[in-house]
Amino acid sequence: MNPFEYRRAMDATAAVALVTEHPGAAFLAGGTNLVDHLKLGVARPDLLVDVSRLPLDTISSLPDGRVRVGAAVRNSDLAADPLIRRRYPMLSAALLAGASGQLRNLATTGGNLLQRTRCVYFQDVTTPCNKREPGSGCSALEGYNRGHAILGASEQCVAVHPSDLAVALTALEAEVQVLGPAGERTIPIGELYRLPGDAPERDTVLSHGDLITAVDLPELPMAACSAYRKVRDRASYAFALVSVAAAVDVADGVIRDVRIAFGGVAHRPWRATRAEQLLRGEPATETAFAAAAHAELAPARPLAHNAFKVPLAASTLVATLRGLTEEGR
């Protein structure tokens, strides 16, 4: 591990200023991904600015009906929060489907969103990886790519985003509050994450010095009827092969509105806008669910080892919507 200086930030503005003026600095929150990267040599900061004790650890109802989740709220606290469980069950479910109890007690909301891919080549500094070392090549493209992307990948990178939370937030159209060198701004989560293109080293549109301070959840009554379904190689404590976050509003057997996002299929959480469009106004039947899933996944381009993800994603979406609409009757 490279030597680094450690500083504990006392307020967000000072933290942003400190990181901004040090090109080699990084924010440290729960550390469950970053400390691992320090050990692996994937991250080599010379200054860590600890933001875990900033007063950003509350969940509050805003006057306009939205809910603000502070960036330092621990994953376990967010998952157990009564308001979150009642109004946004898929958010709680997504968190509980990730990591382990002792990791969720450390990991923060902001850190969860900015965790990096678990592509084995990204984490192995002895292999080429464009995300870790731009221009070095992609080992997964022709290598072991069972867990990799089927949508939106490029010749440069076929990694997937690992966060479960981000998938649920994408379906919810949450907004990310960011404090940067130039002040505050709001980024819709649908615009936070990037597809790899020819710059896979950039997971998000954030720049050096940008700090996530909160995530705002919209007032969305149909989110009370939502679910997160995750398919993985073992029953617990594993990353998704495929996951689905969905919320539906069904009246008289007809889908009035629906929100869908996939995890485990792309470099960013995959909002299934095409499937949503097809489903609005349709009867809540398995035939309609399957047709929408098929249309959404039509552009899928699987790799040598992950063709199974295409039918798996489709059937996971169908099962999620079936569960939600049967419940609603």
Query: Residues interacting with other proteins, by CB under 8 A?
Result: 1, 3-6, 8, 28, 30-32, 35-36, 38-39, 48, 50, 52, 76, 79-80, 82, 85-86, 89, 92-93, 96-97, 99-103, 105-106, 235-237
> Contact at 8 Å (CB) between 131 and 201?
yes
CB of 277 to other proteins, least distance (A): 29
Measured from the CB of residue 200, what is the shortest distance to other proteins in angstroms?
23
Q: How many helices (H) and strands (E) does the chain have?
A: 12, 12
Q: Smallest gap, in angstroms, from Cβ of residue 155 to other proteins?
A: 30
Nearer to other proteins, 86 or 185 (CB): 86
- The residue among 25 and 96 lying less far from other proteins, judged by its C-beta, is 96
The residue (of 50 and 201) whose beta carbon lies closer to other proteins is 50
The CA distance from 118 to 179, in Å, is: 27
Shortest distance, position 5 Cβ to other proteins, whole Å? 5
At closest approach, how far in Å is the CB of 101 from other proteins?
A: 6
**In this complex, which beta carbon is closest to other proteins, that of residue 15 or of residue 279?**
15
Residue in the block written with tokens 């990694």: 159
According to DSSP, the β-strands at 47-50 and 59-61 are: unpaired
Residue (89 or 162) nearer to other proteins, CB: 89
Say what the alpha-carbon torsion angle 135, 139, 142, 143 is, to the nearest 10 degrees. 180
Residue 235 vs 298, nearer CB to other proteins: 235
Q: In whole angstroms, how close is the CB of 268 to other proteins at the nearest point?
A: 24
DSSP H helical segments within 173-299, as ranges?
189-192, 273-279, 286-297
CB of 66 to other proteins, least distance (A): 22
What are the DSSP E strand ranges found in 199-263?
211-217, 226-231, 242-251, 254-263
- Sorted by sequence, the CB contacts under 8 Å of residue 29 that are 6+ apart come out as 50, 51, 52, 71, 72, 107, 108, 110, 111
Choose between 44 and 202: whose C-beta lies nearer to other proteins: 44
Q: 215: which strand partners?
A: 69, 176
Decide: residue 287, CB within 10 A, 0-12 exposed, 13-18 middle, 19+ buried.
Answer: exposed
Q: Do 212 and 186 meet the contact criterion of CB atoms below 8 Å apart? A: no
